[in-house]
Amino acid sequence: MNTNVSFEEVLVNYEPIIKKQMISLRIYKDFDEFFQLGRIALWEAYMKFDPAKGSFSTYAISTIRGKYMTLLTKKTKDDERQVLIGDERFDFLPSSWEFSPLEQETIEAYMTGLTKRERVWVYEAILLHKKTREIAEGYQVSNATVRQWKQGALRKMRENVVPEI
């Protein structure tokens, strides 16, 4: 960057541009965080700018906008993985287990009297969350056959349920 212009002067001149980028990206939450990120991006642009490659304003705007887009993407991903309940935040992280052992034990307790194919349906549909079509393709049978396995399994599992008194 031109050493004749200090960063403080650049910051004063580019603060409206930082705010303009926030408005154009519809950033209204976490204003202070994003505004500070814009200042940091402006500093990085100020330090890395090469006059031989173009104008500073274009470079600064693209640097600021790029930092905003990166942070917005990160926040969106974080919001998809987290749920806020009251004052607590629970993270939903991908698990290596497709089902919990306790869940499997509970379901197996109701599988008494099921045929091999009905057990296949319970395992595939309930524990692995597969659709009828996927099960049918995997076992090379029709969708109607898998639906029959389902009906038989559900009927027998309902009979195995003992009502609590």
Distance of CA 43 to the CA centre of its chain: 31
- In this prediction, residues 133-137 reach a mean pLDDT of 91
Across 21-25, 32-36, 72-76, 88-92, least confident range:
88-92
Tell whether the model's pLDDT for residue 74 goes beyond 70. yes
Residue 91, SS3? Answer: strand
The first and second tokens of residue 148, run together, are 């029959």
Q: 84 falls in which pLDDT band (50, 70, 90)? A: low
d(CA 38, CA 157): 60
Distance of CA 123 to the CA centre of its chain: 27
Q: 161 falls in which pLDDT band (50, 70, 90)? A: confident
Tell whether the model's pLDDT for residue 94 goes beyond 50. no
Q: Phi and psi dihedrals of 141, rounded to 5?
A: -130, 175
Domains and CATH numbers, the chain: 7-91 (1.10.1740), 101-160 (1.10.10.10)
Owner of token pair 């056959």: 145
Tell whether the model's pLDDT for residue 46 goes beyond 70. yes
Tell whether the model's pLDDT for residue 106 goes beyond 90. no
pTM of the model: 0.50
Q: 82 falls in which pLDDT band (50, 70, 90)? A: low
What is the predicted pLDDT for the residue at 62? Answer: 92
